Amino acid sequence: MPATSPASAPLLHSSFYRFTPLADPLAAAARVREWAQGLNGLVVLAPEGISAAVAGEPAAVRAFEARLLASSLLGPAAELATGGARPLLFKHSACQTAPFGRLKVTVKPEIVALGLPGFATLPPPDEHDASHLSPAAWRQLMARGDAVLLDNRNHFEWRLGRFRGAVDPGVQHFRDFVAYVEQHAGAWRAAGRPVAMYCTGGVRCDKTAPWMRSLGLTVYQLEGGIVNYLATLPAPENGAAHEWEGECFVFDNRIALDAQLRETGTHATDVFDPARPDEAWRLARAHRLNEA
């Protein structure tokens, strides 16, 4: 079955983020909340920027994106628009299931809090630096075979789907990722192996990359994450081999997408292992949401 195109789907999901200083995140949140009326989803603002995932009728989603691009909220409009020096990348996927039940716009100290060692002294994240590889360049790097292909997500996400050959750091809590990298960084440096790191949308990798470089590692990142890769280089319809294996977990009601960004019908009980404490509470929360 061909993938439902964003243009013909009843609902459109859009996710994006931007690291940019916000002098008044509360005021920025008020503007975003006004522009996002008619949509559902989660938008997090912080002094370091914005991270968002929203969904609604396609025309409403694109109108919201247009308001962001036309404003100076996240930087000069010329940088945000397509073709600008630092464009705002909206990652789209078509939805049959409503991903979210309501709109929540919130202000937090960080758009993604990872508790990285020495974070205050690290360079700020930059989602447009030269370490970001386009999907095509990422495919070429994977084909070379000399890089450590590092999955920067939870263990249950890796278990559900991953790039072929990707290393699983066994993350139940982000401190597990830190411990894994610290344990292996010396060997990677000694072998001259770069680290090719990926996550769902890119924001976690961008937050992590400066810390990993502080350990002397050469780090590459997949621009726009898994979602952008699959949107750009989807699995062939004829079932031919693809670098992505399995399903991509998404933190919304759809649960998982296949390599053509179609909903799979996977349920929370298929994803979370109740024998693992960090997954048991996620499963219990999913049950509560389904019963609400």
Residue 199 a catalytic site member: yes
> Could you check whether 11-107 and 119-291 share the same CATH topology?
no
pLDDT in tens, the chain (292 residues): 334 455 556 999 999 999 999 999 999 999 999 999 999 999 999 999 999 999 999 999 999 999 999 999 998 877 888 777 788 999 999 999 999 999 999 999 999 989 899 888 999 999 999 999 999 999 999 999 999 999 999 999 999 999 999 999 999 998 999 999 999 999 999 999 999 999 999 999 999 999 999 999 999 999 999 999 999 999 887 777 799 999 999 999 999 999 999 999 999 999 999 999 889 999 988 877 665 4
pLDDT on residue 84: 77
Q: Which fold has domain 119-291?
A: Oxidized Rhodanese; domain 1 (3.40.250)
Q: What is the pLDDT of residues 24-59, one digit of tens each?
A: 999 999 999 999 999 999 999 999 999 999 999 999
HEC per residue, the chain = CCCCCCCCCCEEEEEEEEECCCCCHHHHHHHHHHHCCCCEEEEEEECCEEEEEEEECHHHHHHHHHHHHHCCCCCCHHHHCCCCCCCCCCEEEEECCCCCCCEEEEECCCCCCCCCCCHHHCCCCCCCCCCEECHHHHHHHHHHCCCEEEECCCHHHHHHEEECCCECCCCCCHHHHHHHHHHHHHHHHHCCCCEEEECCCCHHHHHHHHHHHHCCCCEEEECCHHHHHHHHCCCCCCCCCCCEEECEECCCCCCEECCCCCECCCCHHHHCCCCCHHHHHHHHHHHHHHHC
pLDDT on residue 109: 95
Domain boundaries, the chain: 11-107, 119-291
Q: What is the pLDDT of residues 167-212, one digit of tens each?
A: 999 999 989 999 999 999 999 999 999 999 999 999 999 999 999 9
Residue among 95, 199, 205, 248 flagged as catalytic: 199
- To the question of domain 11-107 being in CATH 3.30.70.100, the answer is yes
pLDDT on residue 256: 97
